[in-house]
Structure 1
């Protein structure tokens, strides 16, 4: 298989040459301007960061990409989908307010924010993919309605997948709340009666007549009728519905790869990863620990698999930061992500992504000065 090109620039900057100028040169040399953007809707998938977290990407990086898209006649917007868990991004109103809190606004980035799966996380497109783990992916409609898709990823550690790279940003990030439920769970949802407010919204959303009120006037799920679609989770505004059967990390990684396929298949795509502030856990946390390794640089490619592999390989060579959680652990794997979270194996995701045709793990680094 032909090696994919992954373009790289480090964080060294001489006087008069900023990181943002280097990012612009990087993506242009990587070929972003070869995409026909004239009058096209361009989705830029980014993680706005949970309020309280300070490791997420600064909005300045997004503005650099937005400006390039506009210069090429495109109509960019920043997007992410709502979260499955309780926090500052589980519905569109809170999500946009959290983005503003963290510095993302039309005034700082030059474009608007569209939450991919709508107000309550239930506005989704069903994409048939017929893969090993997922037959139909549930992707935020505003993501799928785009003409062009660009991922702008903060590359960091992750407690379930080893690291959060381009595939994680796309696959998990673009899943609707029901889609996230499908990736995280291999079971069916249950109702916590103590939290349930008896509003009936979940019953209205169920297409299988599996939900009804019980004798306590609380929502109850008939598991024999339930299809496990997870739409009731998106419909519940009180987080009374969840799963009791979480998916194994390896299967989670495979599902993320398959959801990524649903997003990028048959659509012009381009991918950027910024490897700095490599925190041990996801930006979904409302806090962040000090980075586990030194900053590496910025990467770009048309191939998300090669991009994740190249970023991971570079991280394996980066010095461990003294005082980080990793500096206190035994290094059995000589891998910062496996050593930080020993129950994870990030290679499962890139291996499966390569297997289903998302790209190749074989790459050639092109250094951009």
Structure 2
């Protein structure tokens, strides 16, 4: 297979060129304007950051992409899906508050924010994955599937379950509805935390398979009837319905790839990754630790496999940051050292196997 082109620029700035100008130059050189944006809705998938975390990407970077899409006749919006876990981004209202708090608002970015899977994380499109080994029908936030063009703007960082959080993590897990996230994280079906349940019946009303009963003001789920759709998770006002979160990390990574395939095979796409503030954990945390490596640069490509591979390689060429969780450890691979129970290569290998790109790349420095 021919090598994929991955474009790269570092974080050095000058009196004549700041970082935002460098990002624009990078994505233009990488070919983003080859996409036909005219009168098209363009979803820009990004992580807004859990409030309390300060490692997430600054909204200034997003505005560069928004402005470029507009200049090319497109109609951009920033988007993400609600989280499965309890936090500030589990429903659209709280999610929007969190995004605005972190600077992702129309005044700073020049476009609107749309939470793709709706108010309670249940507004999803069912997208076939015919060759999926684990997922046959991905549950994707509807606004993402309604868009005409798909762009990712990724903060490349560590991740406790996938090794690193790169382009595929941003797409696959990030675009899954709450039920989709449950499917990726879980090998089973949801259950009810009896201590949190108040017997309100919201879950029962949203179950299409009569799998939920209320006894003594407590709900329970009959797994013989439950199909694992996860709508009860979004319906519960007390966060009492939970995912088992028991899927092996290697299978989790493969499910993320299959969810990514559901989107990437349907839409023209372009991908951008920034390697800065490489915290050991996801931006879903309400805190961030010392970066594990120094800042590296910005990358862009049409090939998400090559992009993630190039990011990993560049990260592993860096020294460990003094005072970080891997400082003083014998390090061959920074992400293996940070999270020894994960294997990030599974994602790369499986994405290539599914035909979503190639690990072989040419790094073009801008």
Aligned to 1:163: 164
In structure 1, distance between residues paired with 2:43 and 2:244: 34
In structure 1, distance between residues paired with 2:171 and 2:286: 21
Aligned to 2:285: 285
Question: Does 1:329 pair with 2:329?
Answer: yes
Question: Does 1:356 pair with 2:354?
Answer: yes
Moved more, 261-270 or 79-88: 261-270
Aligned to 1:205: 206
In structure 2, distance between residues paired with 1:231 and 1:328: 46
Quote the offset at 1:239 in angstroms: 1.0
The question of whether the paired residues in 2 share the 8 Å contact of 1:188 and 1:245 is answered with no
In structure 2, distance between residues paired with 1:79 and 1:265: 19
Quote the offset at 1:304 in angstroms: 0.6
Quote the offset at 1:217 in angstroms: 2.0
Aligned to 2:312: 312
Give the match's secondary structure for 1:152: strand
Question: Does 1:121 pair with 2:145?
Answer: no
Aligned to 1:259: 259
Aligned to 2:81: 81
Unpaired segments ≥5 residues, structure 2: none
Quote the offset at 1:16 in angstroms: 2.4
TM-score w.r.t. length of structure 1: 0.98
In structure 1, distance between residues paired with 2:302 and 2:200: 46
In structure 2, distance between residues paired with 1:184 and 1:145: 25
Aligned to 2:364: 366
Give the match's secondary structure for 1:47: coil
In structure 1, distance between residues paired with 2:151 and 2:289: 28
In structure 1, distance between residues paired with 2:231 and 2:58: 33
In structure 2, distance between residues paired with 1:234 and 1:353: 29
Quote the offset at 1:328 in angstroms: 4.1
The question of whether the paired residues in 2 share the 8 Å contact of 1:80 and 1:174 is answered with yes
Structure 1 vs Structure 2 CA RMSD: 0.9
Aligned to 2:344: 346
Matched residue pairs, number?
Answer: 365
In structure 1, distance between residues paired with 2:142 and 2:266: 16
In structure 2, distance between residues paired with 1:168 and 1:76: 21
In structure 1, distance between residues paired with 2:57 and 2:245: 32
Aligned to 2:228: 228
In structure 2, distance between residues paired with 1:245 and 1:353: 23
Give the match's secondary structure for 1:144: helix
In structure 2, distance between residues paired with 1:229 and 1:37: 34
1:69-117 residue CA offsets vs partner (Å, 9 max, x unmatched): 0000000000000000011000000000000111110000000000010
The question of whether the paired residues in 2 share the 8 Å contact of 1:6 and 1:310 is answered with yes
Unpaired segments ≥5 residues, structure 1: none
Aligned to 2:135: 134
In structure 1, distance between residues paired with 2:329 and 2:198: 44
Aligned to 2:98: 98
Aligned to 1:40: 40
In structure 2, distance between residues paired with 1:111 and 1:117: 18
1:107-128 residue CA offsets vs partner (Å, 9 max, x unmatched): 0000000001000000000011
Quote the offset at 1:318 in angstroms: 1.1
Quote the offset at 1:266 in angstroms: 2.7
Quote the offset at 1:30 in angstroms: 0.4
The question of whether the paired residues in 2 share the 8 Å contact of 1:138 and 1:176 is answered with yes
TM-score w.r.t. length of structure 2: 0.98
1:227-284 residue CA offsets vs partner (Å, 9 max, x unmatched): 1121211221221011335101100000000000111113110000000000000000
Give the match's secondary structure for 1:277: coil
Quote the offset at 1:59 in angstroms: 0.1
Give the match's secondary structure for 2:327: helix
In structure 2, distance between residues paired with 1:336 and 1:348: 16
The question of whether the paired residues in 2 share the 8 Å contact of 1:156 and 1:278 is answered with yes
In structure 1, distance between residues paired with 2:188 and 2:158: 26
In structure 2, distance between residues paired with 1:184 and 1:363: 30
1:165-209 residue CA offsets vs partner (Å, 9 max, x unmatched): 000000000000000000000011110121112222211221211
List 4+ stretches of structure 1 deviating above 6 A: none
In structure 2, distance between residues paired with 1:179 and 1:324: 33
In structure 1, distance between residues paired with 2:172 and 2:183: 12
